[in-house]
Chain A
Amino acid sequence: MKLIDALKIAASGPGDGAPATRIALICSFTPLHLETFLKAHLQLRRPDTHIELSTGQFGDLQGNLQRAKSTKADGAALVVEWSDLDLRLGLRESGSWSPSNHADMVESASFRLRLLEEELAQLAESCPVAIALPTLPFPPASHTSNIEISDFELSLRSRLADFAVNCASIAQIRVLNSQQLHHVSPLASRLDLRSELNNGHPYQTDHCDHLANLLTQLLFPAAPKKGIITDLDDTLWSGILGEVGVDGISWGMDDHSGVHALYQRLLAALSESGVFVGVASKNDSELVETAIGRDDLLIPRDELCPIEAHWNPKSTSVQRILDRWNVGSDSVVFVDDSPMELAEVNGVYPDIECLQFTKDDPNAVNNLLCRLRDLFGKSQLQKEDRLRVASMRSAARLHEASEAGTESHEDFLSKSQPVLNIHFQPRQDDSRAIELINKTNQFNLNGIRRSEAEWQRSLGSRDAFVMSASYEDKFGPLGTITVMTGEILSDRLKVITWVMSCRAFARRIEHQMLRVAFDHFAVSEIEFAYEPTSRNLPLRDFLISFNETLEEDGGPLRLEKGDFDASSPALYHTVNLIASEENPSCQ
């Protein structure tokens, strides 16, 4: 992006009345073009909001950080450069680079980083913070040649690494991966010394563009994909199973098929992070069962679910897998070695990201693996991520039991020993609630997404309430799967946000949530801030199931307790009501 384009984008934006996205840019240099590019990238990322970017005072990183805490920002971008560790490392300063000062500069850097860390931890309590650690070349302040790194520079980099580790362990702080920045912005093309000396702005415009782009992605990351559907032959392994047999397929160094081992390792890691891994293969199903039962496969057999192995079109397999996972096609990636199969699936599902596995080009495979990391990347892993795959399998059992007719759905539910733990206070792991609100599509009252800061503000009202619930049954826990928030009015409850993970469907958890809401808040009516979206038909159908005339008057959607009681099916949950984390007394 050129500066002139950034200026135009930064000056654009939605009409009056649109909500604002408030971002604090925290740095000690003149932000100048970085400010422009950051505003432009934020505007592209949040096109329906006005971008309000605040900056601070020149040369006062610590003070700017302190002031940012009071701005009620939706996010903060902190850019640290070498002079922030010690002023003598600044190119505009006249402090001595004498080797006799090096130890003192390292000590000064340690002290400043400690202060920064304390301030950052406080700022991150109210909003997400993206951090870029020194992006400019280290100044020529060492006694060594440029080929040899000095113990002085190593000591400073060591302090920075410790600082980064500590910051990255704090919820809501995301540290920019310098490797990614190197990839898009070569080190030699970052410093603009003329601008630094004349204006106090040290960056070339290209570097501003790349840095601003990555900081924006850190602050507002794309929703991670939920599942990957993979081919088998010449993708998960080398060889055509039907031709070479179970013992002929390979994925090892000895067989020059190491790229398939890499792919399997990545799939195993993704699965452990809660990503669904399914198989779509044109193959003999019995042969596939035997092949994936090989004990040297690097992804456990159980992690592959479901397995669609037959001779029907791949798009048919994809449809069945999407149904089993209960996710939309835009949440899924399809990997195959055949361009024809990729085109066939892409033709039916344009939303699916289709990626080719080119076994004969290891560098392309490496790029594929990096792409998959980006598509499935998460800032933090929740315990629910680890439960997701297991719970999908239990949902499959539930589905199969219903379909097989071996026992009625009613029997199945009553014997599943379901337990629902309902919390009435914001919990320490609010990030899970926010994650649910921002990724749930089907059972979502209105599709409104919330930033961490907006979430905190929404709970600040005296009349606000929040209900979140975790679930488990004899098949295992699902973790926190539903969140409801709103206001307690004099005569009714007003639900503003209600989401439930699609993993929790068909367990009547939504019915139990309403029953508890009616009883706990002692109201005879619940009003829902329902707005139709392209995906939330399941929630609408659920509400309408109690009273088909709910929508007819065109006003807010309201549910009477009498209608609910008359139509609610039997509920078998053991319900634990938990007032707060500190005082978990059950009612």
Chain B
Amino acid sequence: MSVTKTRLETCFTAVFPMLDAADISTASNENTEGWDSVASITLFMVIEEEFGVHVPEDELATLTSFETIFRWLSKNIADE
């Protein structure tokens, strides 16, 4: 598993502490309890802090699952 994926999972665990570890990779705003607009703001703030990136606002609407966020990060940061 890539370091990026592990770090992203850590972000998800912090923002959604009730989410089972096994469910993180398939989590989305449609199947995750508590993933509302406020949680989204917190999640992206945590991700920006963790990865030192800025997520453009016009991309936020498409980043609604672990998978899409991971793909976005893979394109926009250099993986370790």
Contacts and interface: CB of A to CB of B under 8 A. Distances in A.
A195 B42 CA distance: 11
A474 interface: no
B30 interface: no
B22 interface: no
The A contact surface, by secondary structure, is helix
A61 B38 CA distance: 20
A3 interface: yes
A7 B10 CA distance: 11
Given A11-B17, A205-B49, A4 B11 contact: yes
Interface residues of B, number: 13
A3 B42 contact: yes
B17 A4 contact: no
Interface string B8-33: 00110011010000000000000000
Interface string B38-73: 100110011001100000010000000000000000
Given A11-B17, A198-B57, A4 B46 contact: yes
Interface string A1-16: 0111001100100000
A463 B64 CA distance: 58
A194 B11 CA distance: 22
B4 to A, nearest CB: 15
A32 B38 contact: yes
Contacts of B41: 32, 195, 199, 201
A4 B38 contact: no
Nearest to A36: B42
Contacts of B15: 7
A432 interface: no
Contact of A7 (B14, B38, B57): B14
B43 to A, nearest CB: 10
A393 to B, nearest CB: 55
A7 B49 contact: no
Contacts of A32: 38, 41-42
A33 interface: yes
Interface in A174-216: 194-195, 198-199, 201, 205
Contacts of A2: 49-50
Given A32-B42, A36-B42, A205-B45, A4 B57 contact: no
Nearest to B15: A7
Interface residues of A, number: 15
Name, among A3, A32, A194, the residue most crowded by chain B CB atoms within 10 Å (CB to CB): A3
Given A32-B38, A36-B42, A8 B14 contact: yes
Contacts of A8: 14
Contacts, number: 33
B45 A3 contact: yes
Name, among B38, B46, B49, the residue most crowded by chain A CB atoms within 10 Å (CB to CB): B46
Contacts of B42: 3, 7, 32-33, 36
A205 B45 CA distance: 9
A553 B15 CA distance: 51
Contacts of B49: 2-4, 205
Contacts of B17: 7, 11
Contacts of B45: 3, 33, 205
Nearest to A30: B38
B40 to A, nearest CB: 10
Contact of B10 (A4, A199, A201): A4
B13 to A, nearest CB: 8
Nearest to A6: B14
A3 B38 contact: no
A58 to B, nearest CB: 12
A3 B10 CA distance: 12
Contacts of B50: 2, 4
A424 B17 CA distance: 50
A2 B11 CA distance: 12
Contact of B46 (A7, A194, A199): A7
A141 B42 CA distance: 31
A32 B42 CA distance: 8
Contacts of A205: 45, 49
Nearest to A192: B45
Contacts of B14: 4, 7-8, 11
Nearest to B40: A199
A156 B70 CA distance: 48
B3 to A, nearest CB: 16
Name, among B17, B45, B46, the residue most crowded by chain A CB atoms within 10 Å (CB to CB): B45
A199 to B, nearest CB: 6
B49 to A, nearest CB: 5
Nearest to B54: A194
Contacts of A199: 41
Interface in A30-49: 32-33, 36
Contacts of B38: 32
A544 B15 CA distance: 53
A36 to B, nearest CB: 7
B47 to A, nearest CB: 9
A454 B10 CA distance: 38
A31 B59 CA distance: 24
A58 B42 CA distance: 18
B61 to A, nearest CB: 13
Given A7-B17, A7-B46, A205-B49, 16 more contacts: A2-B49, A2-B50, A3-B42, A3-B45, A4-B11, A4-B46, A4-B49, A4-B50, A7-B15, A7-B42, A32-B38, A32-B41, A33-B45, A36-B42, A194-B57, A195-B41
10 contacts: A2-B50, A3-B42, A3-B45, A4-B10, A4-B50, A11-B17, A32-B42, A33-B45, A194-B57, A205-B45
Interface of A: 2-4, 7-8, 11, 32-33, 36, 194-195, 198-199, 201, 205
Can you list the 9 inter-chain pairs with the closest CB atoms, starting with the nearest?
A: A7-B14, A11-B17, A4-B14, A4-B46, A3-B46, A2-B49, A8-B14, A199-B41, A3-B45
